Amino acid sequence: MTRLMSSLSRPDRPRPTLSYREVAATRTPDALPEGYHHLRHSAVVGHGRAAFEAAGAAVTTWRMHRATGARLFADSDRAAPGVTVGISAGLGPLRLGAPCSVIWTAYEERRVGFAYGTLTGHPECGEESFMVHLEPDGTVRFVVTAFSRPAAWYTRLGGPLIPLLQRAYARQLGRTLRRLVRT
C-alpha cells in the first residue's frame, strides 16, 4: 500500500489516468453502461436525521471503508472531486492495491456520498458510488452502485468469482455502516 500511494503522489511521475470512458455514469444508476458487470446493493442503516448525518460523515470521511479492515489512503480527509484514494485488501503478500480518484460528490439535504473511478493500475476498470439517502419516512438507506470489468490478468482469471466478491464487500460495507451509525 505504501509503495502504491508513494508512486501516486510522486511529482516526478506522471499522474495515473482514469481507466474507463464512462466517467460519472453512476450518477444515473438506472442507466449504467453496457459491457460491464453491474452492482446495485441497498441496505437500511438507521432512521432519522441524526442517523443520516452520522452515516454521511462515515462514508465521506473514509471511516466506513477503514472500519471494514481495508487499508485506505486519501490525499484529503473528505471526499471531493479529484481526491486520489488508494485502497488495499488482503493479507501480507496477497494484499492488492487499488488506486482510484473521486469523480463526483453529493452533499445535499437528503443525499450524501461520492463516486470514485479506477485509475490505471487498478485490477478492475469502472466506477463505484457510495450514497446515503434520507427517505421521506425517515429511513436512512445506504446504496452502492457500480459498473466494472477486469483490467488485470488475475481479475480476468477470477471470472465470475470477482462479482461475487464485490457483492460481498458491498454487503460488508452496509453492515459496517449500520454498526457505525448505532455507536
Asked if 111 and 131 touch (Cβ cutoff 8 Å), the reply is: yes
7 band by pLDDT with thresholds 50, 70 and 90: very low
Q: What is the mean pLDDT of residues 4-23?
A: 68
Average pLDDT over residues 25-30: 92
Q: What is the pTM of this model?
A: 0.88
Please give the single-letter amino acid code of residue 66: R
What band does 2 get if pLDDT is binned at 50, 70 and 90?
very low
Least confident window among 32-41, 91-100, 138-147, 166-175: 91-100
For residues 121 and 96, what is the distance between their CA atoms, to the nearest angstrom? 11
d(CA 161, CA 176): 22
Location of C-alpha cell 466506513 = 64
Q: pLDDT over 70 for what percent of the chain?
A: 88
pLDDT digits (tens, 9 = 90+) for 132-173: 999 999 999 999 999 999 988 888 888 888 889 999 999 999
* Nearest alpha-carbon partner for 147 in 123, 177, 125, 165: 125
**17: CB partners within 8 A, 6+ apart:** 119, 120
The confidence score (pLDDT) of residue 88 equals 81
pLDDT-derived band at 1 (thresholds 50, 70, 90) equals very low
CA dihedral for 142, 39, 33, 65, sign (positive or negative) = positive
Residue type, 123: P
Q: Residue 39 forms beta bridges with which residues?
A: 146
The cell numbers describing 9, all together, are 503522489
The secondary structure of the chain as a DSSP string is -HHHHHHHH-TTSPPP-BS-S-TTGGGSGGGPPTTSEEEEEEEEEEESHHHHHHHHHHHHTSHHHHHTT-EEEESSSS--TT-EEEEEESSGGG-EEEEEEEEEEEE-SSEEEEEEEEBTT-SEEEEEEEEEEE-TTSEEEEEEEEEEEE-SHHHHHHTTHHHHHHHHHHHHHHHHHHHHHH-
